[in-house]
Structure 1
């Protein structure tokens, strides 16, 4: 059995075994990876060098959760009450 990788957008999209190379349309790129068992689906493929590399992802900064409509309304109400109380205290 031979091991093949279907290449899609310069990545190993699908890895499968077959007795012989399947005949598909020319737009489907298949690479024989027999003996290269370290290649995994999702790995980057350089068509010029024929080398597969594990993808490197940049760390993503966590996104602060946005307040809900209810939280915004509650904060607005609290701020308004605070200002009213402060105004009443200064008028004493």
Structure 2
């Protein structure tokens, strides 16, 4: 039994086994990978070299967590107290 990969958008899209390479039509690209057991679905395929490489998955940029409701209320209270104090110090201008 031989192993094949369907190539779609430059990636191994579907890996399957068959006695012979099926003929699904001219738009379906199939590559034999019997001697490349490490190849997995999602791996990048270079048609010029015939090589497969594992995809590089970038880690997402960490995002600061949103403040909790209590933190937002505390910040609003501090801002209000600051503005009231400032107004009292300036004599109600």
The TM-score bracket by the shorter chain reads 0.7 to 0.9
Structure 1 residue ranges, 4+ long, deviating more than 6 angstroms after superposition: none
**Distance (Å, rounded) in 2 between the aligned partners of 1:30 and 1:63:** 41
- Distance between the aligned counterparts of 1:77 and 1:14, measured in 2? 58
Which stretch of the first structure deviates more once superposed, 10-19 or 79-88?
A: 79-88
- 1:62: how far off? 1.1
Any idea what SS the aligned residue of 1:25 has? Answer: coil
CA RMSD across the alignment: 2.4
> 1 CA distance for matches of 2:63 and 2:12?
30
Query: Matches of 2:25 and 2:85 in 1, distance apart?
Result: 76
User: Which residue of structure 1 aligns with residue 43 of structure 2?
Assistant: 43
Offset, 1:19: 1.6
For this pair of structures, how many residues does the alignment match? 89
TM-score, length of structure 2 as denominator length? 0.76
